Protein backbone atom coordinates (compact mmCIF):
# COMPACT_ATOMS: atom_id res chain seq x y z
CA UNK A 1 0.00 0.00 0.00
CA UNK A 2 1.45 3.35 -1.01
CA UNK A 3 1.64 6.03 1.64
CA UNK A 4 -0.86 8.25 -0.13
CA UNK A 5 -3.54 5.55 -0.18
CA UNK A 6 -4.77 7.07 3.07
CA UNK A 7 -5.72 10.23 1.15
CA UNK A 8 -9.14 9.94 -0.44
CA UNK A 9 -10.76 13.31 0.25
CA UNK A 10 -8.95 16.58 -0.34
CA UNK A 11 -10.19 19.93 0.94
CA UNK A 12 -9.36 23.07 -1.05
CA UNK A 13 -10.10 26.44 0.58
CA UNK A 14 -10.42 29.42 -1.75
CA UNK A 15 -11.90 28.88 -5.22
CA UNK A 16 -10.29 31.77 -7.11
CA UNK A 17 -7.76 31.52 -9.96
CA UNK A 18 -5.57 29.01 -8.14
CA UNK A 19 -8.09 27.16 -5.94
CA UNK A 20 -10.28 26.12 -8.85
CA UNK A 21 -7.27 24.81 -10.79
CA UNK A 22 -6.03 22.90 -7.74
CA UNK A 23 -9.49 21.41 -7.13
CA UNK A 24 -9.69 20.36 -10.80
CA UNK A 25 -6.32 18.61 -10.78
CA UNK A 26 -7.14 16.60 -7.63
CA UNK A 27 -10.60 15.65 -8.99
CA UNK A 28 -9.06 14.66 -12.34
CA UNK A 29 -6.71 12.29 -10.52
CA UNK A 30 -9.40 10.40 -8.63
CA UNK A 31 -9.66 12.31 -5.35
CA UNK A 32 -12.95 13.43 -3.83
CA UNK A 33 -12.65 17.20 -3.58
CA UNK A 34 -14.42 19.57 -1.21
CA UNK A 35 -13.99 23.10 -2.52
CA UNK A 36 -14.81 25.86 -0.02
CA UNK A 37 -15.07 29.63 -0.51
CA UNK A 38 -16.74 32.40 1.48
CA UNK A 39 -18.38 33.51 -1.77
CA UNK A 40 -21.06 31.40 -3.47
CA UNK A 41 -20.48 33.42 -6.67
CA UNK A 42 -16.79 32.41 -6.61
CA UNK A 43 -17.79 28.74 -6.21
CA UNK A 44 -20.20 29.00 -9.14
CA UNK A 45 -17.49 30.60 -11.31
CA UNK A 46 -15.05 27.89 -10.24
CA UNK A 47 -17.40 25.07 -11.28
CA UNK A 48 -17.97 26.70 -14.68
CA UNK A 49 -14.27 27.20 -15.28
CA UNK A 50 -13.41 23.63 -14.19
CA UNK A 51 -16.11 22.31 -16.54
CA UNK A 52 -14.64 24.40 -19.41
CA UNK A 53 -11.08 23.37 -18.70
CA UNK A 54 -11.96 19.65 -18.52
CA UNK A 55 -13.91 19.97 -21.78
CA UNK A 56 -10.81 21.46 -23.44
CA UNK A 57 -8.84 18.37 -22.37
CA UNK A 58 -11.63 16.25 -23.96
CA UNK A 59 -11.44 18.27 -27.22
CA UNK A 60 -7.68 17.70 -27.35
CA UNK A 61 -8.21 13.95 -26.85
CA UNK A 62 -6.40 13.98 -23.49
CA UNK A 63 -9.47 13.00 -21.46
CA UNK A 64 -12.55 10.93 -22.28
CA UNK A 65 -16.02 12.49 -21.84
CA UNK A 66 -16.69 9.83 -19.18
CA UNK A 67 -13.55 10.86 -17.24
CA UNK A 68 -14.61 14.50 -17.43
CA UNK A 69 -18.04 13.65 -16.01
CA UNK A 70 -16.51 11.46 -13.29
CA UNK A 71 -14.09 14.26 -12.33
CA UNK A 72 -16.97 16.74 -12.01
CA UNK A 73 -18.95 14.22 -9.96
CA UNK A 74 -16.06 13.96 -7.48
CA UNK A 75 -16.21 17.72 -6.81
CA UNK A 76 -18.50 19.24 -4.20
CA UNK A 77 -18.63 22.88 -3.12
CA UNK A 78 -19.62 24.65 0.07
CA UNK A 79 -19.45 28.07 1.71
CA UNK A 80 -18.76 26.44 5.10
CA UNK A 81 -15.42 25.10 6.32
CA UNK A 82 -17.41 22.54 8.34
CA UNK A 83 -17.55 20.44 5.16
CA UNK A 84 -13.78 19.88 5.56
CA UNK A 85 -14.00 18.01 8.87
CA UNK A 86 -13.36 14.60 7.26
CA UNK A 87 -10.77 15.72 4.68
CA UNK A 88 -7.53 13.70 4.54
CA UNK A 89 -5.38 16.51 3.09
CA UNK A 90 -5.90 20.28 2.89
CA UNK A 91 -4.75 22.93 0.42
CA UNK A 92 -5.38 26.57 1.31
CA UNK A 93 -5.62 29.02 -1.61
CA UNK A 94 -7.37 32.10 -0.19
CA UNK A 95 -6.11 35.59 -0.95
CA UNK A 96 -2.56 36.57 -0.04
CA UNK A 97 -3.03 37.99 3.47
CA UNK A 98 -1.02 36.64 6.41
CA UNK A 99 -3.62 37.38 9.13
CA UNK A 100 -6.48 35.81 7.14
CA UNK A 101 -4.36 32.73 6.43
CA UNK A 102 -3.23 32.39 10.07
CA UNK A 103 -6.77 32.57 11.34
CA UNK A 104 -7.92 30.02 8.73
CA UNK A 105 -5.06 27.65 9.68
CA UNK A 106 -6.09 27.88 13.35
CA UNK A 107 -9.68 26.91 12.43
CA UNK A 108 -8.55 24.09 10.13
CA UNK A 109 -6.26 22.84 12.90
CA UNK A 110 -9.17 22.73 15.33
CA UNK A 111 -11.55 20.91 13.01
CA UNK A 112 -9.48 18.31 11.11
CA UNK A 113 -7.90 15.06 12.38
CA UNK A 114 -4.48 15.76 13.91
CA UNK A 115 -2.59 13.62 11.36
CA UNK A 116 -3.93 15.60 8.37
CA UNK A 117 -1.40 17.74 6.48
CA UNK A 118 -2.42 21.40 6.08
CA UNK A 119 -0.75 22.99 3.06
CA UNK A 120 -0.77 26.51 1.66
CA UNK A 121 -0.48 27.69 -1.93
CA UNK A 122 0.96 31.04 -0.77
CA UNK A 123 3.42 32.79 -3.11
CA UNK A 124 5.24 34.67 -0.40
CA UNK A 125 3.92 34.25 3.15
CA UNK A 126 6.13 32.36 5.60
CA UNK A 127 5.08 28.72 6.03
CA UNK A 128 6.69 28.77 9.47
CA UNK A 129 4.33 31.60 10.46
CA UNK A 130 1.30 29.59 9.28
CA UNK A 131 2.56 26.46 11.05
CA UNK A 132 2.92 28.42 14.28
CA UNK A 133 -0.82 29.23 14.16
CA UNK A 134 -1.51 25.49 14.60
CA UNK A 135 -0.69 22.71 17.06
CA UNK A 136 0.79 20.62 14.20
CA UNK A 137 3.60 22.73 12.65
CA UNK A 138 5.29 19.45 11.61
CA UNK A 139 2.30 18.83 9.30
CA UNK A 140 2.17 22.31 7.74
CA UNK A 141 3.96 22.92 4.44
CA UNK A 142 3.83 25.06 1.32
CA UNK A 143 2.40 23.52 -1.85
CA UNK A 144 3.00 26.26 -4.40
CA UNK A 145 1.25 25.38 -7.65
CA UNK A 146 1.86 27.47 -10.77
CA UNK A 147 -0.79 29.24 -12.83
CA UNK A 148 -2.55 27.75 -14.85
CA UNK A 149 -2.56 24.76 -12.49
CA UNK A 150 -3.95 22.11 -14.90
CA UNK A 151 -1.16 22.89 -17.41
CA UNK A 152 1.94 23.77 -15.38
CA UNK A 153 3.81 20.73 -14.08
CA UNK A 154 5.88 22.31 -11.30
CA UNK A 155 4.93 22.36 -7.63
CA UNK A 156 7.32 24.10 -5.27
CA UNK A 157 7.11 22.36 -1.87
CA UNK A 158 8.14 24.58 1.01
CA UNK A 159 9.53 23.18 4.19
CA UNK A 160 8.78 25.37 7.23
CA UNK A 161 11.03 25.46 10.29
CA UNK A 162 9.17 22.55 11.90
CA UNK A 163 7.88 20.62 8.84
CA UNK A 164 8.71 16.92 9.20
CA UNK A 165 10.44 14.71 6.63
CA UNK A 166 7.34 12.48 6.65
CA UNK A 167 5.12 15.41 5.62
CA UNK A 168 7.50 16.42 2.81
CA UNK A 169 7.70 12.81 1.57
CA UNK A 170 3.91 12.52 1.59
CA UNK A 171 3.46 15.79 -0.33
CA UNK A 172 6.12 14.78 -2.89
CA UNK A 173 4.31 11.49 -3.51
CA UNK A 174 1.01 13.31 -3.83
CA UNK A 175 2.48 15.65 -6.47
CA UNK A 176 3.68 12.63 -8.46
CA UNK A 177 0.16 11.19 -8.36
CA UNK A 178 -1.12 14.48 -9.80
CA UNK A 179 1.42 14.23 -12.64
CA UNK A 180 3.45 17.13 -11.20
CA UNK A 181 7.14 17.44 -10.41
CA UNK A 182 7.83 18.60 -6.86
CA UNK A 183 10.89 20.66 -6.00
CA UNK A 184 11.74 21.39 -2.38
CA UNK A 185 12.51 24.93 -1.23
CA UNK A 186 13.36 26.25 2.22
CA UNK A 187 11.12 28.79 3.90
CA UNK A 188 12.84 32.06 2.97
CA UNK A 189 11.11 35.03 1.31
CA UNK A 190 10.03 34.25 -2.25
CA UNK A 191 11.11 30.59 -1.91
CA UNK A 192 13.00 29.62 -5.13
CA UNK A 193 10.60 30.69 -7.87
CA UNK A 194 9.91 34.30 -6.90
CA UNK A 195 13.39 34.84 -5.40
CA UNK A 196 14.74 34.45 -8.92
CA UNK A 197 11.83 35.55 -11.12
CA UNK A 198 10.92 38.83 -9.41
CA UNK A 199 14.42 40.40 -9.42
CA UNK A 200 14.59 39.57 -13.15
CA UNK A 201 11.22 41.26 -13.78
CA UNK A 202 12.28 44.22 -11.59
CA UNK A 203 15.52 44.61 -13.57
CA UNK A 204 13.55 44.56 -16.81
CA UNK A 205 11.36 47.40 -15.44
CA UNK A 206 14.52 49.37 -14.49
CA UNK A 207 15.76 48.84 -18.05
CA UNK A 208 12.49 50.36 -19.38
CA UNK A 209 12.72 53.25 -16.90
CA UNK A 210 16.30 54.03 -17.84
CA UNK A 211 15.58 53.79 -21.56
CA UNK A 212 17.89 50.82 -22.09
CA UNK A 213 15.25 49.35 -24.37
CA UNK A 214 11.54 49.41 -25.15
CA UNK A 215 9.36 46.68 -23.55
CA UNK A 216 9.22 44.98 -26.96
CA UNK A 217 13.03 45.07 -27.32
CA UNK A 218 13.60 43.75 -23.78
CA UNK A 219 11.09 40.91 -24.21
CA UNK A 220 12.53 40.00 -27.63
CA UNK A 221 16.07 39.80 -26.22
CA UNK A 222 14.95 37.45 -23.46
CA UNK A 223 12.81 35.33 -25.80
CA UNK A 224 15.15 34.93 -28.75
CA UNK A 225 18.43 35.44 -26.95
CA UNK A 226 17.80 33.48 -23.77
CA UNK A 227 15.15 31.08 -25.07
CA UNK A 228 12.52 32.16 -22.53
CA UNK A 229 9.02 31.27 -23.80
CA UNK A 230 7.74 34.70 -22.70
CA UNK A 231 9.62 37.97 -22.09
CA UNK A 232 9.77 39.28 -18.49
CA UNK A 233 7.46 42.25 -19.12
CA UNK A 234 4.83 40.13 -20.87
CA UNK A 235 5.07 37.77 -17.90
CA UNK A 236 4.78 40.66 -15.41
CA UNK A 237 1.59 41.81 -17.16
CA UNK A 238 0.27 38.24 -16.95
CA UNK A 239 1.07 37.85 -13.23
CA UNK A 240 -0.28 41.33 -12.41
CA UNK A 241 1.95 44.33 -11.69
CA UNK A 242 0.38 44.76 -8.22
CA UNK A 243 1.24 41.13 -7.41
CA UNK A 244 4.83 41.63 -8.65
CA UNK A 245 5.15 44.75 -6.48
CA UNK A 246 3.76 42.97 -3.39
CA UNK A 247 6.21 40.07 -3.81
CA UNK A 248 9.15 42.44 -4.29
CA UNK A 249 8.14 44.19 -1.04
CA UNK A 250 8.22 40.80 0.71
CA UNK A 251 11.72 40.10 -0.68
CA UNK A 252 12.92 43.59 0.23
CA UNK A 253 11.47 43.53 3.78
CA UNK A 254 12.32 39.90 4.48
CA UNK A 255 15.88 39.88 3.16
CA UNK A 256 16.74 43.53 3.92
CA UNK A 257 19.00 43.85 0.89
CA UNK A 258 18.55 47.01 -1.27
CA UNK A 259 19.04 44.91 -4.40
CA UNK A 260 15.37 43.86 -4.02
CA UNK A 261 13.96 47.44 -3.92
CA UNK A 262 10.97 47.68 -6.26
CA UNK A 263 11.61 49.87 -9.30
CA UNK A 264 9.94 53.33 -9.01
CA UNK A 265 8.37 52.83 -12.46
CA UNK A 266 6.68 49.64 -11.20
CA UNK A 267 5.29 51.58 -8.20
CA UNK A 268 4.09 54.39 -10.47
CA UNK A 269 2.30 52.02 -12.87
CA UNK A 270 0.54 50.24 -9.97
CA UNK A 271 -0.47 53.63 -8.49
CA UNK A 272 -1.96 54.55 -11.89
CA UNK A 273 -4.01 51.34 -11.95
CA UNK A 274 -1.89 49.84 -14.75
CA UNK A 275 -1.97 46.30 -13.38
CA UNK A 276 -1.28 44.36 -16.58
CA UNK A 277 -3.62 42.03 -18.43
CA UNK A 278 -6.38 42.14 -15.79
CA UNK A 279 -6.77 45.94 -16.03
CA UNK A 280 -6.29 46.10 -19.80
CA UNK A 281 -3.07 48.11 -19.50
CA UNK A 282 0.41 47.26 -18.29
CA UNK A 283 3.64 47.31 -20.30
CA UNK A 284 1.33 46.39 -23.18
CA UNK A 285 -2.30 47.27 -23.99
CA UNK A 286 -4.83 44.42 -23.98
P1 LIG B 1 -8.10 34.91 -5.90
O2 LIG B 1 -8.27 36.29 -5.38
O3 LIG B 1 -8.37 34.60 -7.35
O4 LIG B 1 -9.01 33.90 -5.02
C5 LIG B 1 -9.06 33.92 -3.63
C6 LIG B 1 -10.40 33.33 -3.21
O7 LIG B 1 -10.36 33.12 -1.78
C8 LIG B 1 -11.59 34.23 -3.48
O9 LIG B 1 -12.56 33.50 -4.24
C10 LIG B 1 -12.13 34.58 -2.08
O11 LIG B 1 -13.54 34.69 -2.02
C12 LIG B 1 -11.64 33.39 -1.26
N13 LIG B 1 -11.50 33.64 0.19
C14 LIG B 1 -10.96 34.71 0.80
N15 LIG B 1 -10.94 34.52 2.15
C16 LIG B 1 -11.47 33.28 2.36
C17 LIG B 1 -11.70 32.50 3.56
N18 LIG B 1 -11.38 32.92 4.76
N19 LIG B 1 -12.26 31.27 3.40
C20 LIG B 1 -12.59 30.81 2.17
N21 LIG B 1 -12.39 31.50 1.02
C22 LIG B 1 -11.83 32.72 1.12
O23 LIG B 1 -6.60 34.49 -5.51
P24 LIG B 1 -5.58 33.52 -6.30
O25 LIG B 1 -4.88 34.28 -7.37
O26 LIG B 1 -6.27 32.25 -6.60
O27 LIG B 1 -4.49 33.29 -5.15
C28 LIG B 1 -4.70 32.40 -4.09
C29 LIG B 1 -3.38 32.07 -3.43
O30 LIG B 1 -2.51 31.47 -4.39
C31 LIG B 1 -2.62 33.28 -2.87
O32 LIG B 1 -1.97 32.90 -1.69
C33 LIG B 1 -1.61 33.58 -3.98
O34 LIG B 1 -0.45 34.21 -3.48
C35 LIG B 1 -1.29 32.19 -4.46
N36 LIG B 1 -0.77 32.07 -5.83
C37 LIG B 1 -1.33 32.79 -6.84
C38 LIG B 1 -0.85 32.63 -8.15
C39 LIG B 1 -1.49 33.36 -9.31
O40 LIG B 1 -0.88 33.39 -10.39
N41 LIG B 1 -2.68 33.92 -9.17
C42 LIG B 1 0.20 31.74 -8.41
C43 LIG B 1 0.73 30.99 -7.34
C44 LIG B 1 0.23 31.17 -6.06
CA of 240 to the centre of ligand 1 (A): 14
pLDDT at position 4 is 83
pLDDT of residue 107 exceeding 80, the answer is yes
CA of 16 to the centre of ligand 1 (A): 5
* Substitution candidate for ligand 1 out of 14, 91, 242 with most atoms within 8 A of CB: 14
**256: confidence class by pLDDT, cuts 50, 70, 90:** very high
Question: In which residue ranges of the chain is CATH 3.40.50.720 found?
Answer: 2-186
pLDDT over threshold 70, residue 122 = yes
Q: What is the pTM of this model?
A: 0.94
What angle is formed at CA 155 by the lines to CA 149 and CA 160, rounded to 5 degrees?
130
156 labelled catalytic:
yes
pLDDT of amino acid 3: 73
Residue 1 has pLDDT above 60, yes or no: no
Cα(176) to centroid of ligand 1, in Å? 24
Is 123 considered catalytic here? yes
Ligand 1 neighbours (beta carbon < 6 A): 13-19, 36-39, 42, 93-96, 100, 104, 121-123, 144, 147, 239
**pLDDT band at 164; cut points 50, 70, 90:** very high
Q: Quick one: 2-186 is in which CATH superfamily?
A: NAD(P)-binding Rossmann-like Domain (3.40.50.720)
Sorting pLDDT into bands at 50, 70 and 90, what band is 239? very high
> Which one is the CATH code of 194-278: 1.10.10.10, 1.10.3720.10, 3.20.20.140, 1.10.1040.50?
1.10.1040.50
pLDDT, tens digit, 9 for 90 and up, residues 72-91? 999 999 999 999 999 999 99
**CATH code 1.10.1040.50 region(s) in the chain:** 194-278
The whole-number pLDDT of residue 168 equals 98
Give me ligand 1 centre to Cα 221, in Å. Answer: 33
Amino acid sequence: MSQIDSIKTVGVVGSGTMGNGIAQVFAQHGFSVRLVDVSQAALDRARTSIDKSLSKFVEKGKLTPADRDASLARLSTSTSVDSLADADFLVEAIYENAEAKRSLFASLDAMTRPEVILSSNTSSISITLLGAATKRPDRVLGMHFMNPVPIMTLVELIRGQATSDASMTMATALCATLGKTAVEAADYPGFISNRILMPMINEAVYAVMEGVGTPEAIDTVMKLGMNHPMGPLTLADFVGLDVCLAILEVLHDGLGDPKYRPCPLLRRMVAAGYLGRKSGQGFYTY
